[in-house]
Structure 1
Amino acid sequence: MSQLEFHSATEDTRQTWFVDVILPVPIPKMFTYRVPHELSDLVQIGCRVIVQFGSRKILTGVIGRMHQTPPEKYEAKYILEILDDEPVINKIQIGLFHWIADYYMCTLGEVLNIALPTGLKLSSESKVQLHPHFEYYESDLEFSDKEAIVLETLLKTNSLSYGEISKLLNLKSIYSIIKSLVYKETIIIFEEVKEKYKPKKENRIRLKPHWLGKNQLQKAFDELASKPKQEAILLHYLQHVPVFNEPELNQKGLIKSSFTSSDLSGSSLRTLIKHEIFEEFEVIVSRFDSYDNSLAEVNLTETQLKAKDEILTSFKEKDVTLLHGITGSGKTELYISLIQDALEGGSQILYLLPEIALTTQIVSRLRKIFGDKMGVYHSKFSDNERVEVWKGVLSGRYQFVVGVRSAIFLPFDNLGLIVVDEEHESSYKQYDPAPRYNARDVAMVMANQHHAKVLLGSATPSMESQYQAQQGKYGLVKLTTRFGEGQLPDFVVADMIRERNKKLSKGEFSSELVSSINQALENKEQVIIFQNRRGYSPYITCNECGWIPKCNSCAVSLTYHQYRKELRCHYCGYKEPLPSTCEACGATHLKTIGFGTEKLEEEISLLFPQARVQRMDLDTTRKKRSYDTIISDFEQGNIDILVGTQMVSKGLDFDNVNLVGIFDVDRMLHFPDFRSFERTFQLSTQVSGRAGRRNKKGKVVIQTRSIDQPILKQIIEHGYDKFYQNEIAERHAHHYPPFTRLIGVTVKNRDVKLASLTAIKLGNLIKEKLGTKRVLGPEEPIISKIRNEYLMELTIKLERSQVNLAKVKSILLETRLELMQEKELKTSKIIFDVDPY
């Protein structure tokens, strides 16, 4: 047998592997690729790979399955590269991704796109290079001046990006030039793929090993005796790195930036490196500060210890336990104690919080106890910081993570406990883009996969969680007293109709609220004012003709933001300067209508000029450290009155807050949503909980025009049980959750008639298949146009029992596919939202 024949026979005996790759595209399947033989030993489920998708796209995907079966309907392309030595996603996560895609009616690619931190995805940038067969100086082709500049530059450099060409030619649009050069076969376009994550590096200085002995060091000092600046560098190093006593410390060296003080010479340091007394080296360091790693104990009260025992007993029989603890009852200390126990048992822990606003205070408390064992994961972190936490969980550096809803996607492999704090919060629900998941509900599926336990905590549990506890599916533990000497606040309801009729109010402020704020300021106490609407004013209007500025892309009025002197749409981000005259009639008298947090801040500053006022809403907390700064200033007493949206209602704990004002409870009460009463009760109770901590009895002033609303009495009396009984009876009577499942359907189209036609046809098809009683709509939503797309909505109500949910979802997906075959409706988008509220 010849050498060539032997080589061919060897090739034939090698196994050919195929991998199914999850790609970040909204197509409902994985894609099969062939593994080159040289990469066969490297492929693992959960590793990232670079693949070609279509004719030109280069994508990062994740291996979801390995097998030896080639695809039947297409020839598999080869994977181009494997990016990881070890998986970045584990098999448990891939199972979770499949569940999320199935339950929330989206694709695996959409789940991966949300789950994987941006820093672990690859970016591809279009570049051009000279065609290998093109010879510029021998060509007979004619080129424009700009084409010639591009070609001559490419002769000197290997490639150019679109951005570099644009800058080179000083043109915004270069596509006609690129198109012409491609047509003449002078250049080719390719995609350069780049890894986004960059580890943080630190330059350090250390002695060359040759100088570590005492005799050698003495020799170095002798050589530097006439060079005081260089000698000062060596002395500085030895003061911080005592190599005489601990020579092993030299390996780590000293950070280079420590040599930059005014009495040390940078040029002298460079000379010492050049003469090989010192050497400079680079190390990868964490982006996060280091903390003491020693675990501290928390001292629980008798009430808390009893609650902890009840939780542990409940966990023996139930996988999920609901902790119903009133505001200020010390739920966080209880969580800490349970987390410590789980860590000592060798398990991982995930502590979910609904919003970043909560993480600032709680993280600082937890850091003192858990130190570097704890990671923090939320959207205000940079891409690189999020990747570091991801990799920290993979490596075992972080056994315990505090995070917002996206933390459920972290690569845990040994979860023992998941704590979902403020479990009732709507912030756990993702609305756009897909997957439209609820992190609280996904956490329970995660726990089931890991054989872990879930603790749901809230002062105002959601109807669903309380119902499951009442039915015995969840365990239920109650904390009914405030921690330490804390007392629940007193409530006063200010009747705004009476205040106005008797001319007692000052603008939008009741006399009760004004006098209470004055009293708090006199007592050197702090105040929180809650208004669940940001901006200066909901809208402006012309005093003459009633014209109201509207968004060009959405069916909403523009919100006035005085700080920036602009009108802004809170749905699409469109903004325009404040007009000086009415666009309809030309009148100059434009007035603001309603109160947002910005206007509230201004009015309070005018009413109480002696007070230091600060606002906390989406507009003032866009920057990374904004939350930290505002909360820190408030804690330190640098702010007297904090005005905010529901951010201020979250479990923040301030010792000196003794007054809370709830500014416009009616707007929440009368919002057209079956959850409006539930959310009003929750938000009002939560924000009221900020008043009166430790040994002070706080006060809450609620302003309303609906003084006879029964729910106000329930809020005042802290009557959650009474509220729950009334609300659950209403839900049962009108067939709403928890007695039914809801699937929301949204139809979008840039043409209003096509949006309506699609929705009507879709509604009719679904009614034929599921029955008329199960389908509500279609109808226009409150906001009927967003980002130039007209909206129509349907709601599907499904009984909890005797309905095959998977079958219903399959029918809905098939119906959408069926409808999209109709040529005139192809431009419509049909979006499903499972458990939409």
Structure 2
Amino acid sequence: MKDIFVEVVFNLPINQTFSYRVPQELSRVQPGMRVLVPFGNQFLTGVVVMKRDRPGFPNPKDVVDVLDELPLITEKMMQLTRWVSEYYLSSWGQALFLALPRGIEEAVKEKVFLLKDLPDDTLTQRQRELFLVIAENPGNTKAYYRKKFGYSSFYNLLNILKKKGFVYFEQEYIEAQARELFRQFVHINEDYPQLKEKFPDFLKYLKRRPEIDAYMSERLGQDILKSKFLEETRMSPPTLAKMCRYGLCQQITKKVERRIHFEDVEEPKIVKLTDEQTAAIKAVEPNIEKEAFATFLIHGVTGSGKTQVYIEVLKKVLARGKTAIILIPEIALTPQTVRRFKKVVGDEIAIFHSKMSLGERLDYWHACYEGRIQCVVGPRSALFAPLDNLGLIVVDEEHEHTYKQTEINPHYNARDVAIYWARMNNAVVLLGSATPSLESYYNALNKKYALIEMKKRIDDVQMPAVEIIDMRRAKKVGQGELRLFSQLLIDKINERLSKKEQVILLQNRRGFSAFEQCSECGFIPICPNCDISLTYHAHGEKLQCHLCGYTIPAYQFCPNCGGRQIVYKGTGTQRIEKALLEVIPHARVLRMDRDTTRGKRSHETILQAFAEGRADILLGTQMIAKGLDFGRVTLVGVISADVGLSIPDFRAPERIFQLLTQVAGRAGRRQKVGEVMVQTYSYSHYAIQFARTHDYAGFFKEELNHRKNFRYPPFVRLIQILVLHKDFMETVNKTREIAHKLKAPLAKYAQVLGPAPGIIQRMNNLHRWVVTLKLNPQTDPTGKITKSILLQKLGSALEKKKKNQQILVDVDPITLN
């Protein structure tokens, strides 16, 4: 028979495929399946992307094993991930692994257990041999059995044993244990009433325990969790075993699916749709009916009912047998969002977010893969859920920077990938925001997207009045370093609390204060790995770097001069909480930042407590500014609107305007009048003044002029090349070399800026320098030419990832490095 070959990619920064020969016994392999293959001196798991009749290069090695029974990646998802890799300049393997459940590649060992005691005639000789090897010592790892049995076709035979119900697997990962969850159940036979009559000793037992007979008779044919059965019947395990021997019931092993459950909380009661909501739905409807791709930007003020528009459109999509993806920017929004969509979808809804266990993610991924899910909700990773027949993608708060993956390759923006994915599926995209990104609104005005405006709140509730407090002149309250509040803000808080109303306070910085400083010599503790000061955390009395995690005990005296006059500069959420309780000691305060939300369900716990009225004030960072809906909140206070304005990033004013507008929208969302108090030392800044009047159009016009004058998006595309190296001069020299290599070939297509030091010049003990490319919209409007030259000049350097050296490329950066 003619040899078959496959092309395989790996989750590595290597921008090519690798050819392997397929042994005849593994010829069932298909694109989208995982395979175990030799790679250098090791064995790696890769994904097959192509099957062919000749190799891509001579003398290919053999595939060792096929790890899946069916392809995990569809042809359409292959195309999407290929586009992601080409657009964002990552390897195809790195993009492809976005579409796989995270636990798979993180497995370090996988244990095998028996479901049957003996082999039977359905097994071939080789399958029987493997079964007996496992039976000698069940519960060991796959690697253990492969060593005893041999490499040849091991995984293929093992998967057949699993499919036939002889074995099951438990996977163990470095971070957590993620595996199929099996539990013992008691199955009560349907002919129990007749069978019991055959056993006089059991009838005698039932005379003493008539409740057992009633329990069994009421549950004929049911499977009951063994632990629950024993608890409810108060039966001993030996008695249960005896009943099983009599055939009255059976003990069986079943796979259990893990689902996340959300408690009900107060939800907005929408009696009927507003005229604006009805108009928005009608605008979208024709594309749903024709199954035609379109992107709609819904620019709706906070409280205008954008979520209800999503829900009504979702109903229409589901009625046509389609599926949907709802993207949200923060984990904090998940509980509220899921509850509202679950009322429409029922249990056929899946959730994906980073606080889930690997096992939960695995179960939801399989539910999507098997076609049991209609709607997926979550942050950016939810976009790659394996849904068929996609009809709708919603990107809520589309302006949010958290849609951009910045930590690892590929550095994709989920909003932009969602639009491409919807086009591939002839689906509709709804981008929603009260403060759209300048790029999205610019695209809508230029007819690239369809623009839907929603300018009124539901029930004509008025937008909250915003007052800007100039902290240079305002009267302050508090003691010494803790004078963080204006008298006006404190008076307003007391007024609202006296009416049994609730307050949200925003400070976009966690920790107790920005840094410690010796007042005698000026010493400031600096992270030894990064060029930033250490943040003081009152809880645990520690200093911590928020970039690399470096932590030391807080100084009680200066390590430089020995002085004891340690003062705290800046204002973090912990410090504000302490100062607030000194000024308003009777207030019940909940703090919500990264330090208080490390637990798995901590977001939901805090938000539910606040929704139920168990706290008066919710104090937090930007995670409380978006999408949350609490009917009793009538006052929002911003402690320091200046945080972020001084960052040397062209998007800084846009972020401040968005943050202030979004947090202001949390106030007065029902019939009670809302109010917003903004404390600032930059009273006249245009971003703050436009936020005061809720004037997005005015801000857009002003900011667009700045972007045009200085040639920033949406007028040009950006690509940033970040060079990291442990040695300072090596970093500078490498960055100069890159800039020099690119200037001549890119002269016609892009402006090469740099080299220049990064905004943070050292992080994790690596120096950071950048080269920025501003693409010419006339000669290279899509960026394809520039990217091609980049790969040609830097391709090999991008594939080298060493501990002390790295080169990263960020296409369409959301923040400047």
TM bracket, shorter-chain basis: 0.7 to 0.9
Shift of 1:413: 3.0
Are residues 1:236 and 2:223 paired? no
How far apart are the structure 1 equivalents of 2:151 and 2:285? 62
Are residues 1:283 and 2:254 paired? yes
Alignment of 1:178-193 (within 5 A): none
Q: Which residue of 1 aligns with 2:160?
A: none
Q: Which residue of 2 aligns with 1:94?
A: 78
Are residues 1:471 and 2:442 paired? no
Q: Which residue of 2 aligns with 1:59?
A: 44
Does the aligned pair in 1 maintain the 2:325–2:375 contact within 8 Å? Answer: yes
How far apart are the structure 1 equivalents of 2:521 and 2:261? 62
Are residues 1:47 and 2:17 paired? no
Shift of 1:207: 3.0
The aligned amino acid for 1:382 is S
Shift of 1:234: 3.8
Are residues 1:270 and 2:251 paired? no
CA deviation map 1:205-228 (0-9, x unaligned): 12346x43x433444577332466
The counterpart of 1:714, out of the listed 663, 683, 690, is: 690
Bigger shift: residues 315-324 or 58-67: 315-324
The aligned amino acid for 1:627 is H
Shift of 1:516: 0.6
CA deviation map 1:602-661 (0-9, x unaligned): 111221111111111111111110001000000000111111111001100001001101
C-alpha spacing 1:159/1:511, structure 2 compared with 1 (3 Å):
closer
Q: Which residue of 2 aligns with 1:831?
A: 808
How far apart are the structure 2 equivalents of 1:410 and 1:502? 51
C-alpha spacing 1:761/1:605, structure 2 compared with 1 (3 Å):
same
The counterpart of 1:300, out of the listed 266, 270, 273, is: 273
The counterpart of 1:200, out of the listed 175, 178, 181, is: 181
Does the aligned pair in 1 maintain the 2:326–2:377 contact within 8 Å? Answer: yes
C-alpha spacing 1:611/1:124, structure 2 compared with 1 (3 Å):
closer
Does the aligned pair in 2 maintain the 1:206–1:280 contact within 8 Å? Answer: yes
The counterpart of 1:427, out of the listed 389, 402, 407, is: 402
Alignment of 1:648-687 (within 5 A): 648-687=624-663
C-alpha spacing 1:340/1:158, structure 2 compared with 1 (3 Å):
closer
Does the aligned pair in 2 maintain the 1:298–1:333 contact within 8 Å? Answer: no
Does the aligned pair in 1 maintain the 2:195–2:248 contact within 8 Å? Answer: no
Q: Which residue of 1 aligns with 2:298?
A: 323
Shift of 1:666: 1.4
CA deviation map 1:383-437 (0-9, x unaligned): 1211222211121100211111011222233211111110000010011111000
How far apart are the structure 2 equivalents of 1:52 and 1:350? 37
Question: Secondary structure of 2:643's match?
Answer: helix
The aligned amino acid for 1:432 is E
Shift of 1:572: 0.7
C-alpha spacing 1:826/1:260, structure 2 compared with 1 (3 Å):
closer
Shift of 1:453: 1.5
Does the aligned pair in 1 maintain the 2:798–2:807 contact within 8 Å? Answer: no
The aligned amino acid for 1:385 is E
The aligned amino acid for 2:255 is I
C-alpha spacing 1:391/1:501, structure 2 compared with 1 (3 Å):
closer
How far apart are the structure 2 equivalents of 1:564 and 1:114? 37
Bigger shift: residues 673-682 or 409-418: 409-418
How far apart are the structure 2 equivalents of 1:158 and 1:708? 72
The counterpart of 1:537, out of the listed 483, 506, 513, is: 513
* Cα root mean square deviation, aligned: 3.1
Question: Secondary structure of 2:642's match?
Answer: helix
Q: Which residue of 2 aligns with 1:106?
A: 90
The aligned amino acid for 1:71 is G
Question: Secondary structure of 2:472's match?
Answer: helix
How far apart are the structure 1 equivalents of 2:408 and 2:348? 32
Q: Which residue of 1 aligns with 2:763?
A: 786
C-alpha spacing 1:78/1:234, structure 2 compared with 1 (3 Å):
farther
Question: Secondary structure of 2:758's match?
Answer: coil
- TM-score, length-normalised on structure 2? 0.87
C-alpha spacing 1:826/1:458, structure 2 compared with 1 (3 Å):
closer
Aligned residues with identical type, % of pairs = 39
Q: Which residue of 2 aligns with 1:146?
A: none
Does the aligned pair in 2 maintain the 1:416–1:451 contact within 8 Å? Answer: yes
The aligned amino acid for 1:281 is I
Larger Rg: 1
Does the aligned pair in 1 maintain the 2:99–2:384 contact within 8 Å? Answer: yes
How far apart are the structure 2 equivalents of 1:229 and 1:206? 23
- TM-score, length-normalised on structure 1? 0.85
Q: Which residue of 1 aligns with 2:103?
A: 119
C-alpha spacing 1:539/1:502, structure 2 compared with 1 (3 Å):
closer
* Unaligned 5+ runs, structure 1: 1-13, 128-155, 165-187, 244-248
Q: Which residue of 1 aligns with 2:282?
A: 309
Alignment of 1:3-42 (within 5 A): 14-40=1-27, 42=28
Shift of 1:115: 3.6
Q: Which residue of 1 aligns with 2:597?
A: 621
Question: Secondary structure of 1:19's match?
Answer: strand
Alignment of 1:70-81 (within 5 A): 70-73=55-58, 75-81=59-65
How far apart are the structure 1 equivalents of 2:206 and 2:287? 74
Q: Which residue of 2 aligns with 1:381?
A: 356
The aligned amino acid for 2:454 is L
Alignment of 1:553-632 (within 5 A): 553-632=529-608
Q: Which residue of 2 aligns with 1:507?
A: 483
Does the aligned pair in 2 maintain the 1:205–1:256 contact within 8 Å? Answer: no
Does the aligned pair in 1 maintain the 2:73–2:99 contact within 8 Å? Answer: no
Shift of 1:119: 1.9
How far apart are the structure 2 equivalents of 1:800 and 1:820? 25
How far apart are the structure 2 equivalents of 1:743 and 1:84? 38
CA deviation map 1:716-772 (0-9, x unaligned): 211111111111111111111001000011111100011011111211222222239
C-alpha spacing 1:832/1:99, structure 2 compared with 1 (3 Å):
same
C-alpha spacing 1:576/1:276, structure 2 compared with 1 (3 Å):
same
C-alpha spacing 1:535/1:122, structure 2 compared with 1 (3 Å):
closer
The count of corresponding residues between Structure 1 and Structure 2 is: 753
Shift of 1:812: 1.5
How far apart are the structure 2 equivalents of 1:643 and 1:229? 60
The counterpart of 1:766, out of the listed 742, 752, 755, is: 742
How far apart are the structure 2 equivalents of 1:270 and 1:368? 43
Q: Which residue of 1 aligns with 2:69?
A: 85
Q: Which residue of 1 aligns with 2:322?
A: 347
Are residues 1:741 and 2:717 paired? yes
Shift of 1:311: 2.9
After TM superposition, what 4+ stretches of structure 1 lie above 6 angstroms from structure 2? Answer: 156-161, 314-318, 501-506, 818-822
Are residues 1:366 and 2:341 paired? yes
Shift of 1:821: 12
The aligned amino acid for 1:85 is E
Are residues 1:258 and 2:258 paired? no
How far apart are the structure 2 equivalents of 1:789 and 1:86? 43
C-alpha spacing 1:404/1:709, structure 2 compared with 1 (3 Å):
same
How far apart are the structure 1 equivalents of 2:565 and 2:363? 55
How far apart are the structure 1 equivalents of 2:539 and 2:424? 49
Does the aligned pair in 2 maintain the 1:494–1:702 contact within 8 Å? Answer: yes
How far apart are the structure 2 equivalents of 1:17 and 1:297? 60
Shift of 1:669: 2.4
How far apart are the structure 1 equivalents of 2:70 and 2:451? 41
How far apart are the structure 2 equivalents of 1:96 and 1:399? 20
Does the aligned pair in 2 maintain the 1:504–1:511 contact within 8 Å? Answer: no
Are residues 1:450 and 2:431 paired? no
Question: Secondary structure of 1:740's match?
Answer: coil
Alignment of 1:632-647 (within 5 A): 632-647=608-623
Q: Which residue of 2 aligns with 1:148?
A: none
Shift of 1:305: 0.9
Are residues 1:776 and 2:753 paired? yes
C-alpha spacing 1:766/1:474, structure 2 compared with 1 (3 Å):
same
Does the aligned pair in 2 maintain the 1:311–1:477 contact within 8 Å? Answer: no
